[in-house]
């Protein structure tokens, strides 16, 4: 990033499946199934590494920001038939971290202020829709299972052993 601009990352993962449609002629039994899986991992990091020497007459800022998230959608429908059966499964696993750090061994001097910030604005959505697009003549059955396992950490830290001086 340019001097004074925070490190930023926009992370968006989307997994989506939508079944096609068969012809409109009626069949005895129609079946639709869908599975969508999203696995997402990402990190936004702004840091002053160990061994770095920062000597500033202005403010020193270490800012990390993350926005976005993950969306997983499965849609399963049946076409026209006497009996329609639909099933949808969506699985989402996401780990998205935002870190602003001053590491051990970093030497930071400033005449003004030292600011650290980690801003994480993420959204996660998972949907399993097993509703039929058309209407079965006699009976329609649909089942959807959606599983979401997500982790989002935001941390702003000065590690032990960092040297901070206000001149």
pLDDT digits (tens, 9 = 90+) for 1-27: 445 555 455 555 555 555 545 555 556
- Beta carbons of 72 and 125 less than 8 angstroms apart: yes
Longest dimension (CA), the chain: 83
Taking the C-alpha atoms of residue 17 and residue 38, their distance in angstroms, rounded to an integer, is 11
Top pLDDT among 10 and 163 is at: 163
Taking the C-alpha atoms of residue 143 and residue 135, their distance in angstroms, rounded to an integer, is 16
pLDDT at 1: 45
Taking the C-alpha atoms of residue 125 and residue 61, their distance in angstroms, rounded to an integer, is 33
pLDDT at 117: 94
pTM score above 0.75: no
């Amino acid at each position: 990033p340019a001097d004074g601009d925070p490190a930023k990352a926009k992370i968006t993962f989307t997994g989506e499946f939508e079944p096609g449609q068969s012809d409109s002629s009626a069949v005895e039994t129609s079946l639709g199934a869908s599975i969508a899986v999203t696995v997402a991992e990402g990190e936004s990091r702004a840091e002053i590494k160990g061994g770095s020497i920062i000597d500033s007459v202005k403010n020193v800022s270490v800012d990390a920001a993350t926005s976005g998230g993950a969306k997983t959608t499965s849609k399963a429908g049946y076409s026209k038939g006497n009996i329609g059966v639909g099933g949808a499964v969506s699985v989402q696993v996401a780990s998205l971290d935002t870190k602003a750090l001053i590491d051990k061994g970093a030497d930071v001097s400033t005449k003004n202020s030292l600011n650290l910030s980690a801003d994480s604005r993420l959204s996660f959505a998972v949907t399993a829709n097993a509703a039929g697009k058309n209407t079965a003549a006699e009976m329609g059955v649909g089942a959807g299972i959606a599983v979401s396992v997500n982790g989002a950490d935001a941390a702003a830290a000065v590690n032990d052993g960092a040297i901070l001086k206000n001149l």
